[in-house]
Structure 1
């Protein structure tokens, strides 16, 4: 691997281990085994690198989920996604941290906005993306009371039948 790839791998590792807010340029450089000046050379800034690393990690998770649940029933597909809130918790938390950073960084905002556009395409629209975000928050904050995949599908069916929130 070259410095660019090493930096992406190091940034992904730091996002998982330290989170967005606690990851420094020095942390990434140390994890990648390169000079911290390489970050500026290859990515322009720490935020640009962390955003790229986050998008790459989310893409990898999406690919993993697509391989695990092709052709499964809706309850199983939602449950596979819900399970990822536990197995990939640090990645989901890093996404939340990045969303907060987007308020002050147009660069981060643009990368995340592009990711949301792709997410809407991949999930089939804005409502499934909003549902995903809400489920993620419920599972990160109160997993003992958060819905299962079967609960999600049942509530969506009830919502569809009535046209009103359940």
Structure 2
């Protein structure tokens, strides 16, 4: 049986798209939005400008697709890690740690760069809104899976939204040079608060 050595057109197209998205994320993290140009992205990806325009017609489209790509990857990683967590209270607090790990790295840096730029870029802002909503829905689903039926839906959603906003704020604090020990202490305080709420609802 002959072994296929040539990639199909679809495989080449997917590889090109992947290279563009990864290069975009790298540029956002290393250079920031203002210094990230389509030319620089193409150069890093080893892709021609024509090939880039075949996949993404505008810079805003490329940027938001890169954020979606990054979030999908992180969601898979968090989902896989969550599967091994123990049930009950420990699962809830370790879920907060997973949330912090997901939001505090590349995702946070890229997202902040894009949201700041979106304040004065209507096209980018309109494209980012559904991405941010999808991010929130997917994160809520991860928490549902982690908590099971231990918490009512309304309580779970409130704790999630508070957790997300906390880790976003802490991620921004890290980006501007805040103290790591203070962030760790605040996370521990929040986990203790969540456990108190968890116990109150369970009782």
TM-score, normalised by the number of residues in structure 1 = 0.77
CA distance in 1, matches of 2:55, 2:139: 32
Equivalent residue number for residue 25 of structure 2: 12
> Where in structure 2 are there 5+ consecutive unaligned residues?
1-11, 141-156
Count of residue pairs the alignment pairs up: 160
Q: Which stretch shows the higher mean deviation, 140-149 or 152-161?
A: 152-161
Equivalent residue number for residue 183 of structure 2: 146
Contact 2:23 2:45 in 1 (8 A): yes
CA distance in 1, matches of 2:65, 2:92: 30
CA distance in 1, matches of 2:78, 2:55: 30
CA distance in 2, matches of 1:69, 1:20: 32
CA distance in 2, matches of 1:140, 1:128: 18
Equivalent residue number for residue 35 of structure 1: 48
TM-score, normalised by the number of residues in structure 2 = 0.65
Equivalent residue number for residue 132 of structure 1: 167
**1:8-65: CA deviations, max 9, x gaps?**
2322332343333321111111112122243333211122102111221122112111
Q: CA RMSD in A?
A: 2.8
CA distance in 2, matches of 1:13, 1:100: 17
Query: How much does 1:83 deviate?
Result: 3.2
Query: How much does 1:161 deviate?
Result: 9.1
CA distance in 2, matches of 1:10, 1:110: 23
Equivalent residue number for residue 100 of structure 2: 82
Q: In 2 relative to 1, CA 128–122 (structure 1 residues): closer, same or farther, beyond 3 Å?
A: farther
Instruction: Give the SS at the match of 1:28.
Output: helix
1:105 matched to 2:105: no
> Where in structure 1 are there 5+ consecutive unaligned residues?
none
